[in-house]
Structure formats: C-alpha cells, structure tokens
A and B are shown apart, each in its own frame.
Chain A
Amino acid sequence: MGNEAIAFGALSAGVSVITGYPGTPSSEILETVVKQNADGVYAEWSVNEKAALEVAAGAAFSGLRAMATMKQVGLNVASDPLMSLNYVGVKGGLVVVAADDPGPVSSQTEQDTRRFGEFSKIAVFDPSSPEEAYFMIGEAFEFSERYGRPVLFRPTTRVCHGTATVQISDGVEPNRKADAWKAFGNVCLELAENAESKRKGNFMRGGGERVIFPKLAYENHIEIEAQLKEMSAELSDYPRNFITDITPLNFSRRNGKGEYLYGKKTGAENGRAADTGGIASDCGAEVKDDTTSSGNSENGNATIKKGIASGGVSFAYTEEALSMLPPREGYRLFKVSAYPFPERGALRFLDGLDEALVIEELDPVIERALTELCGRYGVNVKIRGKLTGDAPVAGENSVETAYAALRNFFKNPQKTAESDIIDAEGKTLRKAVSDNILGIGSEPRKATADDTLDIASETPPALPVRPPVLCPGCPHRFSFSAVKQAVAENAGGRKAVFSGDIGCYTLGNALGMVDTCLCMGAGITVAQGLSRAEPDALNFAFIGDSTFFHSGITGLINAVYNQADIIVVILDNFTTAMTGNQPHPGVGKTPAGKLSKRTDIYKIVEAIGADALLRVNAYDGEGARAAVKSVLDKKGVRVLLFEGACIKLKGAE
C-alpha cells in the first residue's frame, strides 16, 4: 500500500518523530511506522492536526527529522501553524503529509494541497505511485532540511491506497537520497553520517530565529521569495520533473487495418530532464549545463508540436492512455512532481510547441502555471485543460478520462477492435482497446466472437444501490433510536433539529438524525447558531468522542460561556471508528496499544460547567430515553454522554 511505502521511505530517511490525526486516506502511514517499532522513533496520534504539526515542528526545531500526517481537510486545521512555520523555518527536515482525495472518495471537499503550497509558499512533492512515494519522501526530507523550510507531501487516494511491489531497504540510508541528487550535479547537503545521531535533537536556545515577530516575518518573507526562485530553478532539474520527447517510429496501414508501431522514447527512460535549451535561455532563464545531456536529437524535437503535462497518479493514467491511443504524431511529455512550479523546465517543455494539454486531478495548478508562463514570457502555446473545457473539472481521473481528453487533443480517429498495437517484428503488444469498450464513444459495447450473445441489445438488470450503513449492533443506532423516540414522545410539538459531525455517526443521515455536517467539531457550534435563529426549536448536536477531543471542546466552552440553549449528545464509542479504530485521549492508549493516561470526557464536561450532565449506557434503551426526556425541558447547555463500545474494537471476528 502506498501509505506503507511512505512510512518505510520515511523510516529509511531517518524520521525520528511522527505525529498525526487519523483521516482517510492518510491513516495507515503512522500505523505502519508504529508497527515497525523502530528504535528511537517516536510516534503519536495527536489530539488534532494542529497539535500534530506543532509537535513535529518542535522536534524539527531541535534538528530531528519529523513528519506530521493528515488528510487534506486536516491541513485546514493545521494551517495556522503551517503558515507561520514557514516563516520561522526548521532545522531538521519537516515533511507534512496531507493526503488529497479526488472523487472525493471519503472527504468533505475536493481541495488541492498544491494550492495550499502556493498560498503558504511551501514546496510540495506530489508522488505518482507508491514506488515513487517511497523514494520521494526521502528526497522531501532532504529538500526541507537543505532549505530549512517545511515541505508538503501530498499523495492522493490512489497513491495512498494503491498497491505496488516496492523494493525496500532495511534501516536508515541517508546516502540513497544524496545519490539521487548528485546525479544531477546538485550540491548535496551534509547528511548525517550516522543514523543514531539523527535521532537525538539539540535545540539551540537564544538565537531568536524561532520566535516570530513582525520584523523577522518581513525579513524572512524576502528570504522565502528568494528561496522559492532558487527552489523552482533546482526543481527544473529534479529527476522526477522530467521531459521526454516521443516520436512514432512509423505509421503504416497494412491489410487495410490501421496498425500502429510503437513509439520510442528519445529521452532517457524514467526521466532525465532532456535539456532542449531554446526559449529557456532566450527568456533569460538560466540554463545549467551540468545535467547529462541525454542525447535527444534536435531535429526530432522540431517536429513535435504537441505537448502533454501531467503529475501525480494522473501521469500514470496519461502514460497508459497514450499507449492505448497511441497518437500518430510525436509529442512531448512533461511530468511535474514537485513545486514551486519548475519554470525553467516548463519553458523547455513549451519550446516549439503549438499546444499543450494538461491532465491533472483537482485544481488546474499546472495548467494555470503554464498559462501564466506563456503570458509572462510571450510564448505562443495554447494551453488546454480544465479551464478550457478539455478535461473534467471535478472528480477523479482515470485511464478512461485521460484517453478521452487525449483522443480529442490528438484528433485521433475512433478506433476499432482491429487496430491492435504491434511492434516492429509484428508481434502484438496489446490488443487495441476500442473507444466503445472504454465507454467513451457513443456506441455500446459490441459483441465479438468471444461473446455468446450481443449484450448490447439487452439492458442490464437493475442493480441494488448500496449506501454504507452502520454495522449491525453499532451503539450509534441505539443512541439515535433513543433520542428519536424520546423526542417523539416528549417534544410536545416542538421542532427538533439534529446537527451532526464527522465520524461513523454521520451515517445516521439515513435515519433522519443528521441535519447538518460541516467539518470536524462544527456540530456543537452550528447548533448554537441554529438556536440563536430559532430559539423555540430543540437543538441537538451529536459528536463522537474522538471528534470531541479534536475540536468539540472549544465549541462546548463557547456554548457554556455564551449561555446557549442546546442539547449535546456525545457518542462515546471508545475509539476513532471511521478511520480504522485508532485510540485517542479518552481511550488512554498509545498507537502501539500501550496504556497511557486517560482523559475523562465526563470530568471535562463537568469542569466546563454544563447546565446538566448525564452519563448514559447507549445500549440501555429505556435509561437512555429517560435521560433524554429529563433534559428536554431544561434550559442551557445540556450534555448527554452516551457510552457504548464500537463493535469493531478488538479484532471483531
């Protein structure tokens, strides 16, 4: 799994402190680190992403390599420390892993962490596969340490939960990353010779450089801007930001069939940025000649008029779609794997092209950067992508979507099943995939000799819709049921509104028990707003235990302090269930399952000063209904703590 690859990569890069808050698709990174039980590596589930990043920052101030993991919306929570952390800088490499979720498969938004990178002026590494993620995470640490700035690492769902064979090495390998950079003539930083020394920090007091003051912020802003230029230049030579020219060897029509001969890459396989000089130098961008010139012929390039830029897992889709197509003319491929946008590399890519198509997920980051570059340098290349309607603006990409965009871009004719792809010896490399099979053309799938019947003429049977549901025996169902019944019996015609939150219990939506769901911790606060607008209604807020610790406590204090009129139902199932049962402060266990201190939710609520507080056994329907009834007619902030363990806990059979 990609998340495991990231964990192993980080360990072999000598990470010493790893923190995080669970969130699909990022959770398995920290869990894998914990499972390895590596010597001297500290791992914690933090109470939320802000705490996670700050803990990691402290470790990095002391010179250790640290990593904080979270999902993309978690980065919103951690954005406060992130923004200023860049100004303050770090000593040890600090990598913030924020997993994006195109689709979205299990998230509230389709936000793009690359944009967060632009906003916070932080470099972003964007792996395209689990294998690449394994190596790239080490490079990210090295990069962060060399510039003394935090770095973002943003895998997407298909990288996190994608699987691949990855050759991993044992132990710490500081020099592996050094080699990757040396190959490019970059100056490598002095990596610690010895892994052990890396795992003991030493915070330098008295320098004041970690204390953010306006004056320092101004000075560091200037430095950051200068560094961004430097980074962009360096990343133009980063082996994972590469350009390859691909020219078809031949195109022939034999036996009346369109038979394609496979194109051959002229650039080095797997990416050396092919230095094409040209406009890059004309436009004042410095072209370093220290890269190995990979022998691509000048004359080959002149014929190439079309370019394709891509990054992340979309690059894999693009490559695969290209091999299915394949275009009948030569083209140039640009893989963008790290930001700030590698401008010099991009100018080499644009050199001589008529138009370029960008295939990327989430926001049109590469597309905008290329468009801007064309404007700034007066380069006349038409950039196509999401902004021009040439690619879908939302949702996940796939080989199919890439194929559709590419076929349109290359104006390749519709393909038939006969157009198999053969190599020079006439051997079939791959059976052609016709458009209709890919579901792109308007024609339905046609029967072939292999089919017993032309199913195109038959409508498939209606398929059951399968919404996710709470597990059988889930305590939440009991809790919802008790609240619903108690309200039905005792509300006396008053309207009841149920504000929900994030967790398994969001599925209570199907029970009509979730009217709002905004973001982590928002249930309690949204209910307060609703109650200000509609004081006569009964305003309930449901929140899980982990979410309560994450960001529910502040909302509850806000309610008590401002004397809101709400009923808060804390659904305590002793775990963070939705993301795979991670422990939290109320459980009092470490990620490795060892006992630690437990924070008692009941006592917290008591201390906050709720107007009423009752502990309820979620499975005790009668008792639960009575508890709800007893607070219905009271005023103020009433808190019901429903306890019932998630049935998935403890290796449910």
Chain B
Amino acid sequence: MTNCIITGVGGQGVILMSRLIGTAAAAKGLDVKGAETIGMAQRGGSVVSHIRIGDGAKSPLVARGTADVLIALEPSEAVRALRYLRDGGMAFVSNRAISPRKENFDVGNASAHNRTDCPRNETFDGDEVFAANREVLSRKENFSAAERKISEETTAVASQTDTAIGYLRRAVKNLRVVDYESVVSRCGAKAFNTALLGIAVSSGAFPFGKDDVRGALIGRISEKFLEINLNALACEN
C-alpha cells in the first residue's frame, strides 16, 4: 500500500493533483481511498489531500507517521505536513514559499473596476457581466496596490524558503527539492503541479508510471490546458 500526502496553499492545484493520482491508480486496477480539503480553506488556506493506494486501507485519512510519499507545492506546508511522513518516506517539495495573504481594505483605484451598468433584464444570462468583470480584472493596471502586492508576495520569499527547506533537509533523508523557477521556465507556471507530480512519478514514488498520469490528464483536463499539462508531465528536472 502506498500512503501519500499532497499539500499546498488553496488555489495551487492540490486537489487536481490528488485526483490525477487517484485516476492513474484506479486505471491500473488499484484500490484508491482518500480525502480532500474542500470548502473555505480553498480560499488561500492550507490544503491537504490524503491518498491511499492499494489493498488494506480502511480509513480515508493517512495516519501520522505512515505516509510513504509527501508532495508539497509550498515548503512551509511541507514542514506542516511532515508529521505524516514515515521514517524513510520520500518528499518532493517546491522551493517557492508563499506568504499568507492578509485581508486588507486596499482596493486601490476602485473606479478602474467601474462598469457603467449591470445588464440585468428578463433574459439576463450573466455572461455579459462576467465577461466585463473578467476583462476589467485581467488588465494589470487595474489591480490595486494590495492585489499587486499579493501577486508579488507569491513569488519567492527567500528567507522563508531557506528556513523551511533547511529544516526539511535535516529531517528527511529522501528529500527532493524541486526548483520552481527552473521548472516553470521550461513548463510554464500554469502546470507546475503536474510537473511536480511527474517528477515524483518518475522517481518511482507511485505504483504507476507517467503513462498512467498521461491517461488521467487526458480524461480530466479540458482541451485548452491539456497541451501544457502534457508538456509539464514530460518535463524532467
């Protein structure tokens, strides 16, 4: 049986990764059990997925000290989830730290978001509003100072990374630190989670291979993003 913990921050793609693992394992005819964090924590909180592959699992949760594999999209979350890892277990950890978002009022130049009207009538379809909204939000200059700060903060926070990774290096023998920048430069930021999964799979962490993950991607990812995800999967670090 393979016990696995996937962790990261809400919005990083933890759930997608755990579903890919589940689908790949199930396609191999293996029994899969697991549990996901769904709900409020998905809005930027700590997210943990438990996956158990093979016979004999009863509980959907991995007990502390029994995980064979730990995949972390964020180094501090790896430290937080370390209690699950068994002695000698493998850990694959991204070296990009994400600072916790702090709620604040700074909405910047709010009038930049202004839309003249909400098109609501009997045949209201909403689509127009959403399109208008998205258009406004996609323009970089319309992001408020606070929101820009958030996106800047989500790029490497050097000291936090060093502390967390340093600790992990001392605590875990089978540790693979994956350099976010170098992976992203080759695979793009959108599919970093898939790239990380690919690295774990080719290290033999799972009872299935990249081909099975490829199959899972084809079944789960919309056409629009399939290409970059398949590329990311193929990408070796």
Q: Which residues of A contact B (CB under 8 A)?
A: 1, 24-25, 105-106, 129, 158, 161-165, 313, 316-317, 319-320, 323-324, 398-400, 403, 417, 431, 433-434, 437-439, 445, 448, 450-453, 455, 458, 460-461, 463-473, 477-478, 480-482, 484, 504, 507, 510-511, 574, 578, 587-589, 595, 598, 600, 617, 619-623, 643-645, 647, 649-650, 652
Contacts and interface: CB of A to CB of B under 8 A. Distances in A.
A477 B59 contact: no
B223 interface: no
Given A164-B60, A484-B105, A643 B118 contact: yes
B111 A163 contact: no
B129 A469 contact: no
Given A463-B80, A480-B105, A507-B43, A621 B167 contact: no
A623 B115 CA distance: 11
B114 A470 contact: no
A619 B147 contact: no
Among all A-B residue pairs, the 4 with the closest Cβ atoms: A621-B110, A437-B65, A619-B113, A510-B103
Given A460-B82, A463-B76, 4 more contacts: A163-B33, A455-B167, A477-B103, A619-B113
Interface of B: 9-10, 18-19, 22, 26, 30-46, 51, 57-61, 63-66, 76, 79-80, 82-83, 86-88, 99-105, 107, 110-111, 113-115, 117-118, 120, 122-127, 129-131, 133-134, 136-137, 143, 147, 150-151, 160, 163-164, 167, 169-174
Most buried by A among B9, B64, B124: B64
B137 A320 contact: no
Nearest to B53: A165
B147 A473 contact: yes
A458 B105 contact: no
A590 B32 CA distance: 33
Contacts of A619: 110, 113-115, 136
A472 B104 contact: no
Contacts of B45: 466-468
B56 to A, nearest CB: 8
Nearest to B63: A399
A453 B170 contact: yes
Contacts of B19: 163
Given A163-B33, A439-B64, A460-B79, A622 B147 contact: no
Contact of B167 (A129, A461, A650): A461
Contact of A645 (B87, B104, B129): B129
A461 B38 contact: no
Given A316-B59, A473-B137, A25 B38 contact: yes
B105 A481 contact: yes
Given A400-B64, A469-B44, A652-B134, A105 B9 contact: no
B45 to A, nearest CB: 5
22 contacts: A24-B39, A25-B38, A105-B39, A158-B35, A163-B18, A165-B33, A316-B58, A316-B59, A399-B59, A437-B65, A439-B83, A452-B171, A466-B10, A467-B103, A510-B102, A510-B103, A574-B126, A595-B123, A617-B115, A619-B113, A619-B136, A643-B120
Contacts of A439: 64-65, 83
B122 A468 contact: no
A464 B76 contact: yes
Contacts of A164: 31-34, 60
Contacts of A158: 35, 60-61
B24 to A, nearest CB: 12
Contacts of A320: 57-59, 63
B60 A316 contact: yes
B60 A647 contact: no
A162 B129 CA distance: 35
Given A465-B100, A510-B103, A645-B129, A598 B122 contact: yes
Given A165-B26, A458-B167, A650-B127, A477 B136 contact: no
B175 to A, nearest CB: 9
A645 B130 contact: yes
Contacts of B113: 473, 478, 619-620
A319 to B, nearest CB: 5
B103 A470 contact: yes
A163 B175 CA distance: 27
B59 A645 contact: no
A434 B113 CA distance: 57
Contacts of B64: 400, 437-439
B172 to A, nearest CB: 8
